[in-house]
Structure 1
Amino acid sequence: MSYEKVKQAEKLSIGTKQATRSVELGKAKAVFIAKDTDLRLLNKITALCQRMDVEITYVDSMKLLGKACGIDVGAAMVAIVNE
């Protein structure tokens, strides 16, 4: 399951602002996006990831993505960040 990569990652940028910033700075290795994310945000981060050549993985829900990150709230997106 793709959630395992999130659980095993040493460094994460959790949330829309942090994940977007990591991609913009060229620090993101991969981005995980919840399928129930707001469409406007989804389109923006997808285009940015394609432009920056960052791998995208879609996951079922914000709730499950948040849980994989070890937080009690949902997360729209998460970036695995290079050290």
Structure 2
Amino acid sequence: MGALSPWHIILVAIVALLLFGPNKLPELGRGFGKMFREFKDATSGNGGNNTSDDQPAPVRKEINPAEVTNAETGQINK
């Protein structure tokens, strides 16, 4: 099975034009473009989350069990 020749591409374009009509083809092209763009973003790891890269992750403080605050008295147990 070889590559597509120009005749194959023309035949596919004519069949698409007959099936969907000239008014629907631009919408289908935009849909395919959006699908490929989302697929590329998902495979590259972007996922479209640009806002999370702008803000650093919050720093988590480690809790030492020996220094836990007593909820009843409000004092730190050491």
Higher strand share: 1
Higher helix share: 2
TM-score, normalization: structure 1? Answer: 0.23
TM-score, normalization: structure 2? Answer: 0.25
Q: Relative contact order, CA 8 A, sep 6+: which one is greater? A: 1
Give the greater-gyration-radius structure (CA).
Answer: 2
